[in-house]
Structure 1
Amino acid sequence: MDLLRGTLPDVAVHVVTAVREEVPAYGEGMGEQMAATIENAVQMALAGFLRVAGRATDPGTPLSPTVEGAYALGRGEARSGRSADALLAAYRVGARVAWRELSATAVSSGVSAATLASFAEMVFAYIDELSASSVAGHTDELETSGRVQQRYLERLATSLIRGDAPDALADAADRADWAPPKTLTAVLLPPSQVRPFLGLITSRALVVGDAGLPDDLVVALVPDMGGRSRPRLLKTLAHRHAVVGPARPWQEARSSYARAVRALPLRHGADPVDTETHLASLVVTADPEAHADLRARALAPLADLKPATAEKLEATLKSWLLHQGRRDDVAADLFVHPQTVRYRMGQLRELYGDALDDPHTVLMLTLALA
């Protein structure tokens, strides 16, 4: 064992050289400092093996605390951005080179075939345990960092719909390692539809699962889905009971979210509600109390009529305003005879007098009946 122990520095150098040549992830871009660190780790691993091998009589003997170092190596490689596949490839190359050199030294020292076979079994059992420990460390690091980043992304999404200051949003995006897009579009949809929708549209959306919305709706802030991309977004949301806000600069996502929330009463059926096609309704209902007061004042002349009569005159007045007084168009809209329209408009003129020719009154009536 002393003879083998003396070869460890050279073996470690040869292992690192082979790994850098044969595994692309550990090529020249790895840097000399990282190469020296891995070389030292290889020496420690081989030394740990020789200590165990010097005492072991059974290939199944527990194989040294060096596995803890392998676990830490796996976590470090995950933080460096190298994959578990690259790590396992490095282990395979390292095992081959180490065995070739250690076995050559053993043979030259007159080790018997039986001892060499037992030694080989121990070497590869040791490598298996080290690689398994490194993969476990790699997996744990990814899961931990993934959970941490997910929490940061959730906090960023909450900050966006809350409307935090731009500086605070920029800091939150940096912490979440999230590259801001040009725009964000707020989409409100049922929880069961979030994963299928995002699977079809993007993996970069931010999600707020508990926004306190009716029916437990979830908020998805979808990047860069304005302009020509909006039809694709709406098509993807078909039959998903969604409400879609406007595209807004990413730090103004609160505006998109607020409009989508205001459009929730417009949901009927499974087709998405596109707030861009309901702007007039959203403007008119922006202040429900003010709209109710405006409606009561504008329609005051109809207040003393029978409900059925008032309803017919109201419908006629609305159509007359929308069709700019074109009697035939009003008749076609209401499915009545043009003479009926003429009669009803006569009634309305008696009730309103010259006010129907006043632009301010016409504006009030248009808004009241919208």
Structure 2
Amino acid sequence: MTDSPTTDSSTTKRPANKIRWGILGPGKIAHAFAADFQYVADGRLSAVASRSTERARAFAAQYDIPFAYGSYGELAASPEVDAVYVAVPHSHHYEAASLCLEAGKAVLCEKPLTVNSGQAEALFALAERRGSFLMEALWSKFNPVIVHLGELIASGAIGEVRRIHCDFGFVAPPDPGSRLRAPGLAGGALLDIGIYTLFLPHMLWGLPAQIDSHVVRGETGVDVQEQIILQWPGARMAVAEASLDSYYPTTGVISGTEGYIQLAAPFFAGRELTLWREGSEPRQVRREFPGKGYQFQVDEVNACLRAERLQSRRHSWEDSLALCQTMDRLRKTWGITYPGERAP
């Protein structure tokens, strides 16, 4: 697993009381985030911002949030907020995260961190310059089952890991203007759900040495189905499949020289895994927790802020950059760019 050292130049200020959180963009994912926030011990929801004041107020009323703002800039400048969860469409991650970092806020930005690696590197430089914490909201890495998976692999429970297979597919609404299908919103399977199928091999092995793939592009030009084969030295391979046009089992299997581990669906947010070893009975392991599990990434951010770190050791800037670089390579091969896309 990749684990970069804490940035030595950290100047993140440690909050005195419970960490006050703001939500930027009250969409579907923000509702899930807010619903799970009740399970966060060291934090409270303090503010929400939308481009629509009415929408912000409705969201605030639903989750008992004291401050509602009608612009992102108001939330970024608010003295009532220590950390911001950025939940706008993919195409707006860079601008929204930059706004909050410039204002000195800690930022937890929805995955993918940015639409390309150039933007990600610019955010890291900005966070370091401003002394502000930044982490990609790849919540799956903090799921208790995924954490235990890492412990099992590190202990040699299945020997040397040689193969990983992950798939995630569902039928998305056909609306060409939806965030999943609109090029202007950086739509497509890869950035939205394909990243889930890629994070496990990257978590274990880092950047792949070789990538091969097949892709189907939809009517709007974005990727709607893909099969990706990644290879690393030492006979290690991963197969990642994603689709917006068909249903997949959404399971993950990690295979080694002495057994395998199967993650129950959905593999990126489940509560159970099965460990199979040659000559032994399969062993099921469950990890119960309330809600959907979004609270664990918030706990990580809060712990990092208390420790005055600029980045997480469990999901570092290097980890996010590697995912961006792999997705850049794939989109380059497929000939997919987004309108107005640029690397600062």
TM-score by shorter chain over 0.5? no
The structure with higher relative contact order (CA 8 Å, sep 6+) is 2
**TM-score normalized with structure 1 length:** 0.19
TM-score of the aligned structures, taking structure 2 as reference length: 0.20
Question: By percentage of residues, which structure has more strand?
Answer: 2
Q: Which has the larger radius of gyration?
A: 1
